[in-house]
Structures are given as structure tokens and as C-alpha cells.
Amino acid sequence: MIRIFIGYDPRETVAWHVLCHSILARASAPVAITPLALKNLGPLMWRSRHPLQSTDFSFSRFLAPYLSGYEGWSIFIDCDMLVLDDIANLWKLRDERYAVMCVKHQHVPREEVKFLGAPQTKYEKKNWSSVMLFNNARCKALTPEYVNTASGLELHQFKWLESDDLIGELPHRWNHLVGYDDPQPGQSLVHYTIGGPYFEKWRDCEYAREWFAEREAMLHADRHAD
């Protein structure tokens, strides 16, 4: 079973559902998908919203190892993404030498404001935490107490690890940054980090056609079913 946690923000509900469909449509193995919705996490997330926090799941993503009982592996994915490959191919990249694995972007945002008017922040390891493979037993520092009290930089810069040597690197195709990275066909996972095609401003962005096709496939129902 491939255990997947996806960040959920009610302002991007359609993005969450289309992403789930893109995973299910291509998966060659059973998957268990859990939305990290604040209203469902109850007492596990009590920290106040930070002025620089752009989504509801900025911090809740780090609860994935706890919610997995610190056993096995789990995947975290932002909701503003589209999976165009078999998620089992990402799962196969698990490496026991590491506590967490991600695409190690060298990402310096150009803009000052993100989608929906959220302030853009610039920091080392930007976007590393948007797709993570957690080796849950090696992430026991990520308790609810720590996730609710640590600073954003401590969490997103992986300060909860003893060393950066515990961060494994995933191939770049598993977190292609639309609007930042040079246009590339054939990516495994695309990330609409500036804004997805479900927002009018970005409806013609790279990989917009693929997103709309996925949405249409998600909405399909067999009209001839008995």
C-alpha cells in the first residue's frame, strides 16, 4: 500500500480532487490517500496561522510521519500539482539511507506576491518540502508538539534532522516547477507553484491543457450505465 498525504486548502478544492484523480488513474499499486485538512486534524494542529503562511497545510504536512505511526514510508504532496506518471515509480525510489527524500531545487522566487495575494518568501531549500518521501521511523522528531511550536524555517529547512546528509535527492521530474523551470515535456509531477490553471490568471500556463484534460476525465460518468 502506497500511503499518500495531500495538503488540503478549501480555496483549492478542485486542485485537490484533480490531483487525486491523476494519481488513481495511473497507479499500478494500491494507494491510500489522506487529505491534510485542518478541520479534520482537530487537536493535532493548534498553532495560530502565521502572516506568511500561504496555505492551510504549510505546517500540517510535517504530521505525515506521526499519522503513519512512525512506521514504513509515506509520501506528502502539495495539492497544486498533477501526477502524470505511475506513483509507484516514485515509491520505488525509497532509500533506507535517508530520513526524507525530495527534489533539491535551487529556487529563488522572482515575485513578491503569490497566488491569492499571499506574500512570497525566499529561503534556502525553497520548495524542497512540497514533495517529500518520509522514512517515518527516522522522523520521530516530528511530534505534534514540535510541528506546532517550531518555526517555519526549522520545519521547511529540515532542521529537525541531525544532518542534511539524511536528505536524499529525488529526480527533478518528480517536482517540475511550472513558471520557474524551463518548459519540459514528459515530466512525472508538475507543480503549479505560482498558480494553477484553475485560476483565471494562469489558465494558459505550461501543463494547463493536461490539467483540464484530467479534470474532464475526473468528471466523466458512463451515461449508458444500468
- The domain segmentation of the chain, as residue ranges, is 2-218
**55: confidence class by pLDDT, cuts 50, 70, 90:** confident
108: closest CA among 156, 180, 173, 192? 180
**34: confidence class by pLDDT, cuts 50, 70, 90:** very high
Of the listed ranges 24-33, 37-46, 101-110, 202-211, the one predicted with least confidence: 101-110
Q: How many CB atoms lie within 10 A of CB 3?
A: 21
Residue predicted with more confidence, 179 or 34: 34
As beta bridge partners, residue 134 has: 74, 100
**117: confidence class by pLDDT, cuts 50, 70, 90:** low
83: closest CA among 176, 169, 12, 3? 176
Overall fold of domain 2-218:
Spore Coat Polysaccharide Biosynthesis Protein SpsA; Chain A (3.90.550)
Residue predicted with more confidence, 177 or 224: 177
Can you list the positions of beta strands (E) in the chain?
2-7, 31-36, 73-77, 81-83, 100-102, 131-135, 167-169, 176-177, 189-191
- Indicate the residue type of 213: A
- Enter the pTM of the model: 0.90
